[in-house]
Amino acid sequence: MDGKLHKYEERLAAFEFTSSAKHESLLLFIGGLGDGLLTVPYVVPLSKALDQIGWSVAQVLISSSYTGWGSGSLKRDADELSKAIDYFSEIYDKIVLMGHSTGCQDTMYYLTVHQHEHPTHKLAGAILQAPVSDREAMMHLFPDSYGELLDFALDQARKGKGNNYLPPEYSALFFNTPITVDRWVSLANPLGDDDFFSSDLPDTVLWASFGHLKVPTLILYSGSEEFAPVTIDKQALLERWKSFVPSENWSAYSGIIPGASHNLTSKTDGDKPMNEAISKVIQFIRSLP
Q: What tens digit of pLDDT does each residue of 267-284 get?
A: 888 999 999 999 999 999
Q: Which residues of 205-229 are buried (b: 16+ CB within 10 A; e: fewer)?
A: bbeebbbbbebbbbbbbbbbbebbe
pLDDT (0 to 100) of residue 28: 98
Which region, left, alpha or beta, applies to residue 74 given φ > 0 means left and ψ of -120 to 50 means alpha?
alpha
Task: Please name the amino acid found at residue 26.
Answer: L
pLDDT (0 to 100) of residue 120: 66
| Confidence category of residue 80, pLDDT binned at 50, 70, 90 | very high
Average pLDDT, the chain: 95
Average pLDDT estimate for 19-36: 92
Res 121 pLDDT > 80: no
Per-residue model confidence as pLDDT tens digits over 173-209: 988 999 999 999 999 999 999 999 999 999 999 999 9
Of the chain, the percentage scoring pLDDT greater than 90 comes to 92
Per-residue model confidence as pLDDT tens digits over 40-52: 999 999 999 999 9
pLDDT (0 to 100) of residue 170: 96
Average pLDDT estimate for 218-247: 97
CA 3 to chain centre: 23
What is the pTM assigned to this prediction?
A: 0.96
Rg (CA), the chain: 18
pLDDT (0 to 100) of residue 264: 97
Q: How far apart are CA 166 and CA 225, in angstroms?
A: 28
Average pLDDT estimate for 11-39: 93
pLDDT (0 to 100) of residue 22: 86
Res 118 pLDDT > 80: no
Comparison of pLDDT for 118 and 251, the residue scoring more: 251
Res 20 pLDDT > 80: no
Res 138 pLDDT > 90: yes
Q: How far apart are CA 173 and CA 120, in angstroms?
A: 37
Of the chain, the percentage scoring pLDDT greater than 70 comes to 99
Please check whether residue 122 is in contact with residue 216, taking contact to mean a CB–CB distance below 8 angstroms. no
Q: How far apart are CA 181 and CA 165, in angstroms?
A: 6
| Confidence category of residue 18, pLDDT binned at 50, 70, 90 | confident
- Nearest residue to 12 (alpha-carbon basis) of 48, 51, 65, 52: 65
pLDDT (0 to 100) of residue 267: 84
